[in-house]
Amino acid sequence: MSAPRNIAVTDWTAIKEIFEVNFENRTRFEIATEWFYELQDPNIAVEKIQEWQKWLAESPENIREYERVEEVLNLSGDMEGLVWPDDRDLLADDYDGEEKIESWKKPAKKSAFNPFSVFSLEKLYDWRPFQVSTLSVVYAALFCIAIVNLSDFSGNYPVDVAVYESATGQNREVLLEDGSVITLGGQSLVSVAYSKSRRQIVLERGEAYFDVAKDADRPFSVVTGNRVVTAVGTEFNISKQAERVVVIVAEGKISIAPEQNETKTGNTIDAYLTAGQRVYYDKEYLSDIAESPVNASLAWKDGKLQYMEEKLMYVVEDINRYSKIKIRFAGEEAKEFLYSGTVFTGNLDQWVEVLPHAFPLSVSYVGDSEIVLSVHAGAI
């Protein structure tokens, strides 16, 4: 990728403001256009990139619309001498993103402001700080991936950022460029950012097993919750749940530290874990290190969820990532029941059927999309 020319950030601010006219109901085209110009900011935050990736992953239509905008704004030329439209021009613009540009540009439309005919966006500038490309998506598998090349977090090196998502009830294996492998549990989502100096993953939701290729010069870090798990070459599992994050090491050694923020110059290590050890944490608490049977903890990769005296609320949360029919609790009491046993992800109906025999629970079906668990009156 050729190095971009230096353009003042204020130039991009001006461009962005043009597309930030607040309509009550923005079209998908308008949202995609706003994202396009957000990504032109050379000082864009990593969090903003992740928001864009999430928006892409929400719908195949978002990806297609972004590709349309990207094609339309296939920009080249120079910004100097360009006269930008004012608010009246923008209000007169009747292009809504749904009509083909070729037909919209017909002479009958020339009375209204036309950003594609009054001035040529195609010759607006000849550089792009980010070369954004959305890969082909296997929609049948509901697997979304988007890749963007941008400057490193320090602004020095190119970074490949990608989003990988698995469908409900499906595990997904992802091979990264360095040979590392991420196995996603059902309904899980990760962002991957690789540069010359670091390998950073963000586990947005769900569960993932990381088989990390050794590279002492590029630490492999996973950010989830409010902490960072770091390894050089090892294998470990992270499960992100609503109220906690669980980390288990299968091989090697990892460190766990608070996530860096703008006020910190470095991370303070909270804990070191080796093979067979487990911790969990939330926003305020990090548990003591405990021994954990690795095979049982990783059985989800083979379609088995295994638990030993686990709160039913966490069991149900895991199950919901593998079931189209979601389970919820009618009250708080049942969430605290302790469950020990194996749940087969391919036969969840049977597990639900036997649940009232193990606990004082009633099972109610709400249509075809929901199961409600409630405690028998007087049981507690």
- The DSSP annotation for 3-66 comes to PPPP--HHHHHHHHHHT----SS--HHHHHHHHHHHTT-TT--HHHHHHHHHHHHH-HHHHHHH
Tokens linked to 334? 């049942």
254/315 same-domain check: no
Do 359 and 279 share a structural domain? no
Query: Are 65 and 164 contained in the same domain?
Result: no
Report pLDDT for 372. 95
What is the distance, to the nearest Å, from the Cα of residue 180 to the centroid of all Cα atoms in its chain?
19
Over range 124-129, report the average pLDDT.
31
Q: In Å, how far from its chain's centre is CA 367? A: 30
Question: What CATH number is associated with residue 181?
Answer: 2.60.120.1440
Whether residue 319 is predicted with pLDDT greater than 90 in this model: the reply is yes
Examine the fold and report which residue of 123, 142, 161 is the final residue of a domain before the chain moves on. 123
| Residue 12 pLDDT > 70 | no
* Res 127 pLDDT > 50: no
The pLDDT value recorded for residue 89 is 55
Both 70 and 42 in one domain: the answer is: yes
Residues 6+ apart with CB under 8 A from 129: 4, 39, 40, 41, 42, 150, 151
**Mean pLDDT in residue range 210-234:** 91
DSSP assignment of 187-246 equals T-EEEEEE-SS-EEEEEEEEEEEEEPPP-TTS-EEEEETTEEEEESS-EEEEEE-SS-EE
Q: Work out the pLDDT band at 83, boundaries 50, 70, 90.
A: low
The more confident residue out of 117 and 33 is: 33
Question: Within this chain, do residues 287 and 336 fall inside the same structural domain, yes or no?
Answer: no
- Residue that wins the pLDDT comparison between 287 and 56: 287
**What tokens does 337 get?**
């029941």
* Domain end position, chosen among 271, 294, 317: 294
The residue-averaged pLDDT of 188-216 equals 93
Cβ atoms < 10 Å from Cβ of 317: 17
Specify the residue for token string 């599992």. Answer: 237
Mean pLDDT computed over 67-89: 55
Residue 126 above 50 pLDDT? no
Beta-strand pair 235-240/245-251:
antiparallel
In a domain, 139, yes or no: no
Give the domain-ending residue among 108, 123, 138.
123
Question: Is the entire prediction scored with pTM above 0.85?
Answer: no
| Averaged pLDDT for residues 154-178 | 81
In a domain, 198, yes or no: yes
Q: What is the band of 260 on the pLDDT scale with cuts at 50, 70, 90? A: low
Domain count across the chain = 3
- Together in a domain, 321 and 280: no
pLDDT(110) > 50: no
| pLDDT of the residue at 132 | 35
Q: Is 319 exposed, middle or buried (0-12, 13-18, 19+ CB in 10 A)?
A: buried
- Domain containing 209 equals 152-294
pLDDT computed for residue 68 by the predictor = 77
pLDDT top residue among 182 and 13: 182
255 and 320 co-located in one domain: no
Q: Are residues 192 and 275 in the same domain?
A: yes
* 238 inside domain: yes
Residue 128 lies in a domain: no
Residue 70 binned pLDDT confidence (cut-offs 50, 70, 90): confident
Of 28-32, 164-168, 248-252, 312-316, where does mean pLDDT reach its minimum? 28-32
pLDDT of residue 159: 59
Instruction: Report the pLDDT value the prediction gives residue 73, as an integer from 0 to 100.
Output: 64
For residue 78, what is the DSSP state?
-
308 and 265 in a single domain? The answer is no
Most distant pair of Cα atoms in the chain: their distance: 79
Residues 340 and 244 occupy one common structural domain: no
R_g (Cα) of the chain, nearest Å: 25
| Between 49 and 256, the higher pLDDT residue | 256
What mean pLDDT, rounded, does the chain reach? 74
- Specify if 337 maps to a domain: yes
What sign for the dihedral angle of Cα 164, 233, 243, 326? positive
- Please, what sign has the CA dihedral across residues 124, 130, 135, 139? negative
Q: Are strands 326-329 and 370-375 parallel, antiparallel or unpaired?
A: parallel
Residue 35 is predicted with a pLDDT of: 84
Cα–Cα distance list, 38 to 43, 49, 274, 376 (Å): 10, 9, 42, 53
Structure confidence at residue 153 (pLDDT): 44
If asked whether residues 157 and 271 sit together in one domain, one would say yes
* Per-residue confidence band for 270, with pLDDT thresholds at 50, 70 and 90: confident
Whether 277 and 290 have beta carbons less than 8 Å apart is answered as yes
Q: Compute the average pLDDT of residues 351-366.
A: 92
Assess if residue 1 is contained within a domain. no
CATH of the domain at 336: 3.55.50.30
**pLDDT grade, residue 241 (50/70/90)?**
very high
Residue 144 domain-assigned (yes or no): no
Return the pLDDT at 45. 77
Indicate whether 308 and 286 sit together in one domain. Answer: no
In a domain, 134, yes or no: no
| pLDDT band, residue 367 (cuts 50/70/90) | confident
